[in-house]
Structure formats: C-alpha cells, structure tokens
Amino acid sequence: MDTQALALALPLIGWASHTALLTHRLATARRDPLTGLRTRAGWTALAERVIRRHRDAVVLLLDLDDFKNLNDSHGHAAGDFALVVTAERLAAWCGRNGIAGRLGGDEFVAIARQAPDLESLHHALNPPVAYAGRRLPVSVSVGSCHVKDLPVRSLSDALAAADSAMYAAKGTSGRRGTRTLNR
C-alpha cells in the first residue's frame, strides 16, 4: 500500500473503529450485564412509546421478596442466579406483547400492551429455583397500574402507582402476590 492510500485509509479505519466502540457501549448501556434485560434507560424509551400507542397498556413493578436473606443464606452467586432466572421468566411471560427491564438490585419492571393475566405472572415467577442441588425459594411482589386509569397517561405516574401497589402487595400476609392500584 502506498503512503497516500495509507494516509487516506487510516482516518476511515479510526472512524469505523470508534463508531463500533460507541455502538457497543450504547448497546451495553441499554442492557443489564447480569440478566440481559433492558436497563432503566433502554426500557424507559420503549415503555414511553408503548404508553403513547396503546391505551390499554399496563405498567408492572416487581421486587424479589426477602432477597437479602437469600443472598445471606445461600451466597451472592445464588442470589445472582435467582435474579437471572427471574429475568428469564419475566421476559418469557412478556413475550411479544410486552417489554421487561431491570431497574437494579432485585427490582424489575415490565410493560404490557394490553391488560395481562397477572395470575399467570404470579405462577411464572414464584416457583423455587434449582441451584447447586438445592431448591431456592423465590417470591416476587408485583404492583401494576393500568395506564388508562391515570388522569394523565405518563410513565412516571404509572410507575409511582405501580410502586404503591407493589408495596401494598408486600404488606399482605403469607405468600406474596400481585396488586393493582385502583384509583
């Protein structure tokens, strides 16, 4: 390769490499490295679009119950495994009609384009997890908000309502369940 061709090619190669690096960083910033679900930023952008387009959308906020106890009793690797399995179960439940994400820690979020069967979600998320020859208990509290029930259809209001409903579900006795906030 002659010097002139090399001088022309180097900036293009550098630009292409830099673009590939930025694309990779953007993609990884929108995906949780542990679970592969969308991060808050990646999920929020899609969820806002769903709310604009689907009047019957439902926002769900989910939290693993007694997660600290799981980590303390079985170790952080077991806790991570429970998070990964929960993420897989949530993503499978959402299928093509919803979008799942991980907000951080043991908190997950989802949006369904139309009113989902919350009982099936409860059954999908709560079976024990097999890990290292043991059955780890997994229990997930779920709060939901039907966007059409809000005075103003906004994601932040839907998340706040789902959060209130989730904490109401955590307050129930016995096995954790699901709640919908009725306004």
Residue 58 DSSP class:
E
By the 10 Å C-beta count (0-12 exposed, 13-18 middle, 19+ buried), 78 is classed as: middle
Q: Tell how strand 107-112 and strand 58-64 pair up.
A: antiparallel
**Cβ-contact 103, 143 below 8 angstroms:** no
The catalytic residues are 106
- List CB contacts of 89: < 8 A, sequence separation 6 or more: 124, 125
Measure Cα distances from 78 to 108, 136, 167 in Å: 18, 8, 25
| CA separation, residue 83 to residues 17, 34, 45, 107, 131 (Å) | 34, 8, 23, 9, 12
